[in-house]
Amino acid sequence: MSASAPILGSASPAASARAARSLKRAPGPSGYPLLGSALDVDRQGILTFFIRAHRQYGDLVRFNVGPIAGHLVVAPAHIEQILGPRRESYVKGRSWDTMRLLTGNGLLTSEGAHWQRQRRLLQPFFTTKAVAAYSQEMTAVAAEVATSWEVAAAHARPIEIHSEMMNLALDVLGRTLFGVRFSDQAQPIGEAVYTGMQFVAQRTRMLLPPPLWLPTPGNRRFLHAKRLLTRFILDRICNVRAEKGGAPAMLTALREARDPETGAGMSEQELIDELITFVIAGHETSAVALTWTFNLLGRNPAVEERLHAELDTVLSGRLPTLSDIPALVYTRQVIEEALRLYPTAWIFPRTCAQDEELSGYRIPRGSMILVCPYLTHRLPSHWPEPERFLPERFSAESARTRPRHAYLPFSAGLHTCIGQHFSMQELILSLATLAQRFHLQLHSSDPPPMDAESTLRPGAPIFATPKRRRWHAS
Ligand code: HEM
């Protein structure tokens, strides 16, 4: 199917609505009466259902899950319309209601004037220049992980990569956002984040989710997790106040932040919502990205060898610093390619706010839109041999020939991930610190299954034994 410009944009709303109603529906599975494809999604798992639907029906697939009508969107040209010029028609809306229970009205879920104000206020804390201030903390966290891997390597003791990376990413957030080491709180906070994310993923799939006031085991677990996160953040806000001047953490600066246009700061509730949002949006995303990167390196010795050569040349055995990042070209490409094959945010939803059109197909008002980087990143037209792990695809020359929206691990347009520079810096420094010292010998030769929930995480533990390596002068 070819993607084209919309035909409804310039007409009056009434004329646009009439024109949209005369269009045909996008192809897709008809499913069962009332249930639609709910049983297939349940039986196959949502990712497999979408992979098959895409294979059968093409780059725009209409489907129903119970009363919800949805459209799976894969073509870069369609994604460009949704995230760019037609974005007023494609809002976050009720597709983010469940996440809103967890993160309140933070950046991830808010819209309109509130979102605009918060983004304006928070953006300066996430520029490349601003996040540079956290580079030493990021490397220090990775160096501590390396120290524990030294012991594991000396005793040939296995590690589980995903839990190691979850701890690393949580530690980075603790030190950079809050100026604390989680230490004994790491486990409950990590579990609370996990419980919250599981709750959101499961509730999103329910045809009739129970109201939150019903004391079901799921609701109670969720409310407990949310209380724990809120209490932790409130404690930190109070402590930073008491510390006068506080730790050099983002929280200290956020408390003083003022909207450049109105001079107003954030209320306590707004600050809590944004901080919970950063923890939710920035923890598992970064951890999973590193997990898949190590998994791919363990299965692709030629790529790993080239990575080691770059690390040896640039770092000569010392820890990486901020000023090394521009020279770690291949290291960055390895991460970019891992995020192509395993985009942490493998799908993200929008709600269609008015009748729309994509490539001559009708997108009815109220329809849920699912942009799916997992499938877009595997389109053979833009990614030859899509299943191969080839970091060279991200050389400047190759990247120039691809449409902008063929690659979107951090989304695109207005709602592009605010933490993109923060996490790329974290991922590069962590990978450089760990990969220059260790090769992770994977215990299983089978690729790990994927668990496509809120993020694309491994569906089973990935065990590996760290093997110490020495740097070689080039
Ligand atoms: C590998 C790591 C990460 C990935 C793959 C990632 C991915 C994404 C994606 C795809 C979106 C857009 C969702 C949408 O358009 O509906 C997003 C938004 C967001 N991310 Fe990230 N993210 C990562 C790390 C982080 C970090 C470290 C933080 C903060 C510390 C963060 C904070 C946010 C926030 C606040 C938004 C909402 C932005 C807005 O709508 O204005 N993310 N992220």
Given the structure tokens 């070209």, which residue do they identify?
Answer: 329
What whole-number distance in Å separates Cα of residue 26 and Cα of residue 361?
Answer: 5
Residue closest to 315 by CA, chosen among 428, 471, 467: 471
Contact 273, 122 (CB under 8 A): no
Q: Where are the domains of the chain?
A: 13-468
Would you report the helix, strand and coil content of the chain in percent, each value rounded to 5?
A: 55, 10, 35
User: Helix, strand, or coil here: 468?
Assistant: strand
According to DSSP, the β-strands at 368-371 and 68-73 are: parallel
**Distance between start and end Cα atoms, the chain:** 50
Quote the ligand 1 centre to 262 CA distance (angstroms). Answer: 26
Residue 125 has a pLDDT of 95
Nearest alpha carbon, ligand 1 atom 43: 417
Residue 10 has a pLDDT of 47
* Residue 104 CB less than 6 A away from ligand 1: no
Contact 52, 63 (CB under 8 A): no
Q: What angle do helix axes 420-435 and 301-315 make, rounded to 10 degrees?
A: 90
Of ligand 1's atoms, which has the minimum distance to the CA of residue 173?
30
Residue 269 has a pLDDT of 92
The first and second tokens of residue 64, run together, are 């129903």
Burial class (CB in 10 A: 0-12, 13-18, 19+), 245: exposed
Residue 5 has a pLDDT of 39
Residue 316 has a pLDDT of 94
What whole-number distance in Å separates Cα of residue 9 and Cα of residue 16?
Answer: 7
Residue type, 171: D
| CATH no., domain 13-468 | 1.10.630.10
* Residue 421 CB less than 6 A away from ligand 1: no
What whole-number distance in Å separates Cα of residue 216 and Cα of residue 213?
Answer: 9
| Cα atoms in the Cβ-side hemisphere of radius 13 Å centred on 416 | 15
Quote the ligand 1 centre to 6 CA distance (angstroms). Answer: 28
Q: What angle do helix axes 420-435 and 284-299 make, rounded to 10 degrees?
A: 40
| Cα atoms in the Cβ-side hemisphere of radius 13 Å centred on 140 | 12
What are the two backbone dihedrals, phi and then psi, of residue 466, each rounded to the nearest 5 degrees?
-70, 130
Of ligand 1's atoms, which has the minimum distance to the CA of residue 289?
1
* Residue 411 CB less than 6 A away from ligand 1: yes
* Residue 282 CB less than 6 A away from ligand 1: yes
* Residue 95 CB less than 6 A away from ligand 1: no
* Residue 422 CB less than 6 A away from ligand 1: yes
What whole-number distance in Å separates Cα of residue 196 and Cα of residue 193?
Answer: 5
The count of residues in the chain is 474
What whole-number distance in Å separates Cα of residue 401 and Cα of residue 339?
Answer: 19
Q: How many CB atoms lie within 10 A of CB 388?
A: 11
How far does CA 363 lie from the centroid of its chain?
26
What whole-number distance in Å separates Cα of residue 431 and Cα of residue 223?
Answer: 35
Residue 3 has a pLDDT of 43
How much is the pTM? 0.93
Which residue intervals of 342-383 are DSSP H helices?
A: 373-376
* Mean pLDDT by groups of 10 residues along the chain of 474 residues: 42 60 89 89 94 97 91 97 89 88 94 93 95 95 96 96 95 90 79 90 83 92 94 83 58 87 90 94 95 98 98 96 98 98 96 93 94 98 97 92 95 96 98 97 95 92 95 67
* Residue 103 CB less than 6 A away from ligand 1: no
Bridge-partner residues for 60, per DSSP? 73
| Cα atoms in the Cβ-side hemisphere of radius 13 Å centred on 307 | 29
